[in-house]
Amino acid sequence: MDTSELKAASARYPKPPDLTPAYGTAGFRALADLLPSTVFRCGVLMVARSLKGGGNTGLVVTASHNPEADNGVKLVDPSGCMLEQAWESHADRLAAADTDEVVCAAVQELFRTEDIPYGTGVVMVAHDTRPSAAGLAAAAVAGVIALGGVAIPCGLLTTPQLHWMVRQANASAKHDEGAYFGALADGFATLVGRSPAPVQAVVVDCANGVGGAKLRALAERLGPQRLPLDVRNAGGAACSGGGLNDRCGAEHVQKERAVPIGCADIGVGGRCASLDGDADRIVFWTLADGGGMTLFDGDRIAALAALLVRDLLAALPADEHTPTVGVVQTAYANGASTAYLAGLGLAVVCTLTGVKHLHAAAEAFDAGIYFEANGHGTVLFGQRLVQRLHELPDDCEAARDLLALESMVNQAVGDALSGLLLVEAVLRQRGWGLAEWGALYTDLPSRQLKVRVRDRSVVRTTDAETRTVAPDGLQQAIDAAVQAAPGGRAFVRPSGTEDVVRVYAEADTQPAADALAAEVMRAVHDLAG
């Protein structure tokens, strides 16, 4: 393999000497200024992945809900899903190479160990709205070209849009942005039928990110008569004082339970939603009578999705194979939501945090619903079920609705725009408002805290992060604290995206949940600090 071109190109993207980038929960993230070498090398990597997987791959420059000065890169496999986990170590090795020679050696080693055929890999490259994003996307393109690949510049896209496009492209299906909006809008139109649109527009806080412009385009495609939307914090000229993810967006709303900026005029009971900076998460919220916020998080979206899927599958004609349905959550799912889903008679599975883990577990079902409490999730339909739905007669309404759902809900990854339509469709079909949605179950009071420690990797977990195996004594301390709290549950895990250990606690009352979280935090300080 002649690596002279790669070496010369790599020299134009030198790695800062002290930087050892690590592929985190969903890719690389750092201050944007530190990232050109990492992104260049990811471009190189995704050419190799394309050659190995025999299809287009994708790369999107974004740091999701992180502050505007940060950036990052998310990598898309030929399936449209996130990069195969076995390749994360290849990404680490390449990103951490100290010299251009080591970069070339790492690439040669990769081709050898993975037995990659030589050829022309194709990488679709997109980016979010960060000021640093276009420059970093150019670094990715340079990386693609340096390994003899073809880069398809896709410009400004939400992360889920790029995942969707890669998946469609490799299925030789239409994969332009118009096709994406069409899939979502047509699916929604079928699901809501002729039922009248709500009088009150849904207010959507777009975190001043890429979701703003994309939601506007989707709204236009849907038409106000189908779904009236009031788009806020759309970025650019419509930016209401804050920058990207600054005091707004899904992460802010879910973690702080605070009304986003630009939404101060929202009245009690208004139906609102917040996206994150790259529009792969959505949570709903409203203002309660006393002024407090009521949050409708990913767990609650999963409950609506589960009701819809369960009922539609039950309405299909009997078949010798009854489709399996499962809901996948993480340890962060509120205990009340887990109990509710189990009560519906559905399989409920708990996995590690991070979409890649939930997605993989959901694929085991004919219909797999997964949502993280933070609002990232989707509904996956297996091949066998989709084929059966296509074979059923045209007048089978349940089959028609399920196929509409499959088209509306991004099959590659969680998508805030799909999530918005999913919630609206289910509420509309049932004639429900937020009150009925909220009444499905009552959340157990919970508290999340972060602890800064010297080295968060000393905390090691097992059983889908619900228990710790290190450091010594920590799990015993957590068990003792949980025992003392009525209805208590608590766990800790090292964050995959921030230099902190996260603490989660829930209990029968808010003071008890707060006290349990504080007690567990103390134990982390004492034993892992």
3-state SS string for 169-237: HHCCCCCCHHHHHHHHHHHHHHHHCCCCCCCCCEEEECCCCCHHHHHHHHHHHHCCCCCCEEEECCCHH
Cα within 13 Å of Cα(262), Cβ side: 28
Nearer to Zn ion, 77 or 278 (CB): 278
Of these partners, Zn ion, ligand 16G, none, which one is at the site of residue 496 (CB under 5 to 8 Å by kind)?
ligand 16G
**Which residues are CB-contacts of 193 (< 8 A; sequence separation ≥ 6)?**
none
Q: How far is the CB of 498 from ligand 16G (least distance, A)?
A: 5
CB burial of 228-261 (b: ≥16 within 10 Å; e: otherwise) equals ebbbbbbbeeebbebbbbbbbbbbbbbeeeebbb
CB atoms within 10 A of CB 318: 5
Q: How far is the CB of 484 from ligand 16G (least distance, A)?
A: 26
SS3 content of the chain, % helix, strand, coil (to 5): 45, 20, 40
Of these partners, ligand 16G, Zn ion, none, which one is at the site of residue 81 (CB under 5 to 8 Å by kind)?
none
30 vs 47: CA distance, rounded Å: 23
Establish if 372 lies at the interface with Zn ion (CB under 5 A).
Answer: no
Establish if 278 lies at the interface with Zn ion (CB under 5 A).
Answer: yes
Three-class secondary structure of residue 337 per DSSP: helix
Q: In the stretch 363-392, what mask flags binding to ligand 16G with x, by CB under 6 A?
A: ---------x-x-x----------------
Q: Write the CA distances from 315 to 232, 235, 312, 503, integer angstroms.
A: 38, 43, 5, 42
Sign, CA torsion 508/511/517/523? negative
Lateral strand order in the sheet of 325-330: 347-351, 325-330, 367-371, 377-381
Element (H, E) at 524: helix 510-528
Of these partners, Zn ion, ligand 16G, none, which one is at the site of residue 276 (CB under 5 to 8 Å by kind)?
Zn ion
Q: How far is the CB of 452 from ligand 16G (least distance, A)?
A: 13
Q: Is the Cβ–Cβ distance between 309 and 327 less than 8 Å? A: no
Of these partners, ligand 16G, Zn ion, none, which one is at the site of residue 25 (CB under 5 to 8 Å by kind)?
ligand 16G
Q: How far is the CB of 329 from ligand 16G (least distance, A)?
A: 11
Q: How far is the CB of 437 from Zn ion (least distance, A)?
A: 23
493 vs 478: CA distance, rounded Å: 12
Of these partners, Zn ion, ligand 16G, none, which one is at the site of residue 497 (CB under 5 to 8 Å by kind)?
ligand 16G
Nearer to Zn ion, 27 or 242 (CB): 27
> Is 494 a known ligand-binding residue?
yes
Rounded to 10 degrees, what is the CA torsion of 343, 347, 350, 351?
-160
> Is 412 a known ligand-binding residue?
no
Establish if 67 lies at the interface with ligand 16G (CB under 6 A).
Answer: no
Of these partners, Zn ion, ligand 16G, none, which one is at the site of residue 132 (CB under 5 to 8 Å by kind)?
none
- Which position among 218, 341, 355, 444 is part of the footprint of ligand 16G (CB under 6 A)? 355
> Is 374 a known ligand-binding residue?
yes
Which parts of 12-41 interact with ligand 16G (CB under 6 A)?
A: 25-26
Nearer to ligand 16G, 324 or 495 (CB): 495
Establish if 354 lies at the interface with ligand 16G (CB under 6 A).
Answer: yes
| Stated length of the chain | 529
Of these partners, Zn ion, ligand 16G, none, which one is at the site of residue 355 (CB under 5 to 8 Å by kind)?
ligand 16G
125 vs 221: CA distance, rounded Å: 25
Strands (E), 319-361: 325-330, 347-351
Using the rule CB under 5 A, give the single segment among 279-287, 389-397, 416-424, 487-495 that binds Zn ion: 279-287
Three-class secondary structure of residue 295 per DSSP: strand
> Is 522 a known ligand-binding residue?
no
Single-letter amino acid code for the residue at 393: P
79 is catalytic: no
Torsions phi, psi of 347, nearest 5? -70, 135
> Is 372 a known ligand-binding residue?
yes
> Is 299 a known ligand-binding residue?
no
Of these partners, ligand 16G, Zn ion, none, which one is at the site of residue 182 (CB under 5 to 8 Å by kind)?
none
Using the rule CB under 6 A, give the single segment among 135-143, 335-343, 491-499, 506-514 that binds ligand 16G: 491-499
411 vs 392: CA distance, rounded Å: 21
Establish if 495 lies at the interface with ligand 16G (CB under 6 A).
Answer: yes
Establish if 497 lies at the interface with ligand 16G (CB under 6 A).
Answer: yes
Rounded to 10 degrees, what is the CA torsion of 211, 217, 219, 225?
170
Establish if 121 lies at the interface with ligand 16G (CB under 6 A).
Answer: no
345 vs 336: CA distance, rounded Å: 15
Residues 50, 64, 274, 407: which is the catalytic one?
64
Q: How far is the CB of 410 from ligand 16G (least distance, A)?
A: 12
Q: How far is the CB of 337 from ligand 16G (least distance, A)?
A: 16
**Which residues are CB-contacts of 314 (< 8 A; sequence separation ≥ 6)?**
none
> Is 276 a known ligand-binding residue?
yes
Of these partners, ligand 16G, Zn ion, none, which one is at the site of residue 297 (CB under 5 to 8 Å by kind)?
none
Q: How far is the CB of 476 from ligand 16G (least distance, A)?
A: 24
Three-class secondary structure of residue 523 per DSSP: helix
Q: Is the Cβ–Cβ distance between 31 and 70 less than 8 Å? A: yes
Q: In the stretch 38-77, what mask flags binding to Zn ion with x, by CB under 5 A?
A: --------------------------x-------------
Annotated binding site for substrate: 372-374, 493-497, 502
Residue ranges of the annotated binding site are 64, 276, 278, 280, 372-374, 493-497, 502
**Which positions lie near Zn ion, rule CB under 5 A?**
64, 276, 278, 280
Binding site for ligand 16G (CB under 6 A): 25-26, 64, 353-355, 372, 374, 376, 495-498, 502
> Where is the binding site for Mg(2+), in residues?
64, 276, 278, 280
Which residue numbers are catalytic?
64
